[in-house]
Structure 1
Amino acid sequence: MPFEEKTLKSERIYEGKIINLRVDTVELPHKKYSKREIVEHSGAVGILAITEEKNIVLVRQFRKPVEEILLEIPAGKIEANETSEVCALRELKEETGFETDNIRKLLDFYTTPGFSNEIMHIFLAQNLSKGIATPDEDEYIEIVHIPLEEAVKKIINGEIKDSKTIIAILTYKNLLGIE
């Protein structure tokens, strides 16, 4: 394909717990060259959990990079040797206490392909059974249950700003065929 970039050199700049950063030197079409700063990420999951009352389970938590408290679907990073489905079940339990044997993948998407290889896997979880949440020791989470239409209104009025949450809610709404 004439638009592909050939990597000539790759230099690891940083290795962290959540991300790695590398700088690639690439050859562009017509023998032009450029550098690409790339954030490497192992991938993540987001879970759209629907209660028996047909409410969406969201978590409210402070996000340091944007200095705001956000309303989001439960989510987390895929660990080494972990499938996306196993991660989704683990994160749902850890963050909300809910468990299920009724989980299915809705879609996958790249979060920010201009500078990161992170892929997000969105799951739908239904037939939930309540347990006890066990968030990571550095996670402070409030669990919120809201109806689908209220969640859509919160997207429209800017109260829900998180992309994975917006994508999951609007995909679910579209699957249901709700106008």
Structure 2
Amino acid sequence: MPAGRYWRDGGGADRWTIHGERVVDDTRRARLSIADVELPDGIRFEQYVIRAPRAAMVAVLDDRQRLLLMRRHRFVFDRWGWELPGGYLDGDEKPEVCAVREVEEETGWRPYEVEPLLSFQPWVGTADAEHLLFLARRADYTGAPVDVNEAEQVAWIPLAEARDLITRGEIVGAGTVIAVLELVARQARPPPAPGG
């Protein structure tokens, strides 16, 4: 094996074998099951698996490089923090439609010209819960948020300050952390050379 190579090629012998999966609970927002899996070396065990519908989130930036964030409480780990607006796709809903709908419902701002930024899986060892992250550079205020239970506060926060909120532990959600770091990295990249 060449130096520095720590992964396998992904051929059949290197994959985990799934002998079965039994559902423990199945709801609109998540399916919990126990998978009977076998490692390539023959070790066999059971592992909990969570399968959730795709979710869409939007990083809305204004022309002053401020990010639209919501401050909310997450009861699961009992903390307040800042997050991007977003939510689960409804049925066959297009991700960009969901993204726009969620921002407006949760913040009272309607984003325009939504473009894909990236996608990610926040908990790859246990869950299949794809998150689609979008970017919008413009939004219009349409009124108070429709969903009053989503956020205690909605604010436009300068991107540099949002980066500091990560450091201080006030942004902890994977999607928001990823979006802020990606947008800060994009700002730091030199512009492309002319003709290149």
TM-score by structure 2 length? 0.84
CA–CA distance in 1 between the matches of 2:60 and 2:187? Answer: 15
Q: Distance in 2 between matches of 1:86 and 1:95?
A: 14
Give the residue type in structure 1 aligned to 2:100.
L
Describe the superposition over 1:51-72 as per-residue Cα deviations: whole angstroms up to 9, x where unpaired. 2333111001111101111111
Matched, 1:150 2:161: yes
Q: Which position in structure 2 is the counterpart of 1:161?
A: 172
Structure 2: how far apart are the matches of 1:141 and 1:84? 25
How much identity, in percent, do the aligned residues show?
Answer: 26
> How far apart, CA to CA, are the structure 2 residues paired with 1:6 and 1:114?
15
2:35 is aligned with 1:15 = no
Match of 2:91 among 65, 73, 80: 80
1:174 and 2:185 aligned: yes
Which 4+ runs in 1 deviate beyond 6 A? none
C-alpha displacement of 1:139: 2.8
- Which of 128, 137, 141 pairs up with 1:117? 128
**Bigger Rg, structure 1 or 2:** 2
Measured in 2, the distance between the counterparts of 1:30 and 1:156 equals 40
- 8 Å contact kept, 1:63–1:69: yes
Letter matched to residue 139 of structure 1: E
What is the CA-CA distance between 1:159 and the residue it aligns to?
A: 2.1
2:189 & 2:162 partners in 1: Cα distance? 13
Q: How does 1:15-164 map to 2 (within 5 A)?
A: 15-136=26-147, 138-164=149-175
**Residues 8-41 of structure 1 deviation map (CA, whole Å, 9 limit, x = unaligned):** 1110100123211011112322433111210110
Structure 2: which 5+ residue stretches go unaligned?
Answer: 1-10, 191-196
- Verify the 8 A CA contact 1:93 1:133 in the aligned structure 2: no
Equivalent position SS for 2:23: strand
Question: Secondary structure at the residue paired with 1:66?
Answer: coil
Q: How far did 1:117 drift?
A: 0.3
Aligned to 2:99, what secondary structure does the other structure show? helix
Q: Is the 8 A contact 2:60 2:67 kept in 1?
A: yes
Bigger RCO of structures 1 and 2 (CA < 8 A, at least 6 apart):
1
Deviation at 1:141, TM superposition (A): 3.6
* Equivalent residue pairs, number: 179
